A and B are shown apart, each in its own frame.
Chain A
Amino acid sequence: MQLATDIGGTFTDFVVLSKDELRTFKLPSTPKKPSQAVEQGLKGMKPSMLSHGTTVATNAVLERRGARCALITTKGFKDVLLIGRQKRPSLYDFTCTRPKPYVERDLCFEVEERISFTGETLKSLEKKELEDLEKQLHKADIKAIAVSLLFSFLAPEHERKIAEHLTNWPISLSSEVLPEFREYERTSTTVLDAYVRPIVSKYILEIERIFGDRFYIMQSNGGVSTSNVARQRPINILLSGPAGGIAATHFLGELLGLSNLISFDMGGTSADISMVLDSQPQWTSEGEIAGLPVRVPMLDINTIGAGGGSIVWLDEGGALRVGPKSAGADPGPICYDKGGKLITVTDCNLLAGYLGERGLLDGKMPLKSEGAHKMVAELAKKIGASHNETLLGVQKVVNSNMIRAIRLTLAKRGQDPRDFALMAYGGAGPMHACALAFELGIKKVLIPFLPGAFSAYGILVSDIRSSYSKSVLSPFTGAENKIEECLDELMNLARRDLDSQGITSDSAQFLSSLDLRYKGQSYEINVALVPDVKEAFHKKHQALYGYAMPSEPLELVNVRLFSMVKRKKILPKLKDKKSTEAKSTRKILFEDGLRTAKVFERDKLTLNFQGHGPAVLEENTATTVIPPDISFKVDEFGVIHMEVG
Chain B
Amino acid sequence: MGTVQRRTAYSPNIKERVDASCAVFDAQGRMLAQAEHIPVHLGSMPLAVKYTKKYFEGALKNGDQIVVNDPYHGGSHLNDITLIKPIFLKGKIMGYAVNKAHHSDVGGKSPGSMPSDSRYLEEEGLVLKPTKLMESGLESKEVLEIIEKKTRNPKERKGDLRAQIAANNTGAKRFLFYLQKYGLAEYNEFVEAILNYSEIRVKSAISIIPNGTYEAEDVMEGDGITNDPVKIAVAVDVEDEKVKVDFTGTARQVEGNINSPFSVALSSVYYVMRCVTDPFTPPNEGCLRPIEVNIPNGTLLNPEPPAAVSAGNVETSQRIVDVLFLALSQALPEKIPAQSQGTMNNLLVGSSEFTYYETIAGGEGAFSFREGQSGIHTHMTNTANTPIEALETTYPLRVETYELIPGTQGEGKFNGGLGVRRAMRFLGEEGTLSIISDRRKYPPKGIMGGGDAKVGVNYLVRKGKMIALPSKTTIPLKYGDLVVVETPGGGGYGRGRQKT
A contact residues vs B (CB 8 Å cutoff): 76-80, 82-88, 90-95, 97-98, 116-117, 150-151, 181-185, 315-319, 400, 404, 407-408, 411-412, 473, 518, 520-523, 544-547, 549, 552
Contact = CB atoms under 8 A, between A and B. Distances in A.
A92 B380 CA distance: 10
B389 A181 contact: yes
B337 A94 contact: yes
Contacts of B3: 400
24 contacts: A77-B403, A79-B375, A79-B402, A83-B420, A85-B385, A86-B420, A87-B382, A88-B373, A91-B39, A92-B39, A97-B373, A117-B389, A117-B393, A151-B389, A184-B387, A317-B201, A407-B7, A411-B170, A520-B153, A523-B12, A545-B12, A546-B162, A546-B169, A547-B162
A-B pairs, top 10 by smallest CB distance, nearest first, are A546-B166, A92-B279, A86-B361, A317-B201, A83-B375, A76-B401, A547-B162, A85-B384, A523-B16, A117-B392
Contacts of A412: 10, 12
Given A411-B10, A547-B166, A86 B389 contact: no
B155 A552 contact: yes
Contact of B10 (A80, A94, A184, A408): A408
A88 to B, nearest CB: 5
B384 A86 contact: yes
Contact of B279 (A90, A544, A552): A90
B159 A521 contact: yes
B52 interface: no
Given A83-B420, A473-B393, A91 B402 contact: no
A150 B388 contact: yes
B403 A78 contact: yes
Interface in B1-44: 1, 3, 6-7, 10-13, 16-18, 36-37, 39
B390 interface: yes
Nearest to B273: A92
Interface in B333-366: 337, 360-361, 364
Nearest to B402: A77
Interface string B376-400: 1110001111011110110000111
Interface in B382-436: 382-385, 387-390, 392-393, 398-404, 420, 423
Residue with the greatest number of chain B CB neighbours at <10 A, chosen from A85, A151, A411, A549: A85
B240 interface: no
B204 interface: yes
Contacts of A90: 279
A549 B7 contact: no
Interface string B266-296: 0000010011001111000000000000000
A384 to B, nearest CB: 14
Contacts of A549: 155, 158-159, 162
Q: Is the interface on chain B under 10, 10 to 19, 20 to 34, or 35 or more residues?
A: 35 or more
A87 B10 contact: no
Interface in B157-216: 158-159, 162-163, 165-166, 169-170, 197-198, 200-201, 204-205
Contacts of B204: 316-317
Contacts of B37: 91
Residue with the greatest number of chain B CB neighbours at <10 A, chosen from A76, A80, A552: A76
A93 B280 contact: yes
Given A91-B36, A93-B279, A545-B11, A86 B200 contact: no
B367 interface: yes
A31 B399 CA distance: 46
B370 interface: yes
Contact of A518 (B11, B153, B159): B159
Contacts of A91: 36-37, 39, 279, 382
Contacts of B18: 87
Given A184-B387, A316-B205, A547-B162, A80 B402 contact: yes
B310 interface: no
Contacts of B458: none
Nearest to A544: B12
Contacts of B169: 546
Contacts of B278: 316
A337 to B, nearest CB: 33
A183 B156 CA distance: 25
Contacts of A85: 384-385
A92 B271 contact: yes
B366 to A, nearest CB: 11
Nearest to A180: B389
Given A83-B375, A315-B280, A547-B163, 20 more contacts: A76-B400, A83-B402, A86-B361, A86-B384, A87-B376, A87-B377, A88-B364, A88-B378, A92-B271, A117-B392, A150-B388, A151-B389, A183-B388, A316-B204, A316-B278, A319-B197, A520-B155, A546-B169, A547-B159, A549-B158
B218 to A, nearest CB: 20
Contact of A86 (B153, B205, B375): B375
B389 A150 contact: yes
Interface of B: 1, 3, 6-7, 10-13, 16-18, 36-37, 39, 153, 155-156, 158-159, 162-163, 165-166, 169-170, 197-198, 200-201, 204-205, 271, 274-275, 278-281, 337, 360-361, 364, 367, 369-370, 373-378, 382-385, 387-390, 392-393, 398-404, 420, 423
Contact of B376 (A88, A182, A316): A88
Residue with the greatest number of chain A CB neighbours at <10 A, chosen from B7, B278, B402: B402
Nearest to B177: A441
B205 to A, nearest CB: 7
A619 B114 CA distance: 66
A435 to B, nearest CB: 13
B367 A545 contact: no
A390 B13 CA distance: 40
B370 A97 contact: yes
B385 A86 contact: yes
Contacts of A151: 389
Nearest to B376: A88
A547 B153 CA distance: 19
Contacts of B337: 94
A489 B390 CA distance: 23
Nearest to A521: B159
A333 B388 CA distance: 49
Contacts of B165: 546-547
A473 B393 CA distance: 8
A94 B16 contact: no
A76 B424 CA distance: 11
A411 B15 CA distance: 12
A75 B169 CA distance: 47
A544 B16 CA distance: 13
B488 to A, nearest CB: 14
A549 B404 CA distance: 41
Contacts of B383: 87
Contacts of B7: 404, 407
Contacts of B398: 116
A521 B12 CA distance: 12
Residue with the greatest number of chain B CB neighbours at <10 A, chosen from A182, A317, A547: A317
Nearest to A110: B403
Contacts of A87: 18, 376-377, 382-384
Given A93-B280, A181-B387, A317 B13 contact: no
A315 B155 CA distance: 47
Contacts of B1: 319
Residue with the greatest number of chain A CB neighbours at <10 A, chosen from B1, B17, B403: B403
A94 B367 contact: yes
Nearest to B9: A411
Contact of A183 (B10, B155, B387, B401): B387
A97 B197 CA distance: 28
Contacts of A546: 11, 162-163, 165-166, 169-170
A545 B156 contact: no
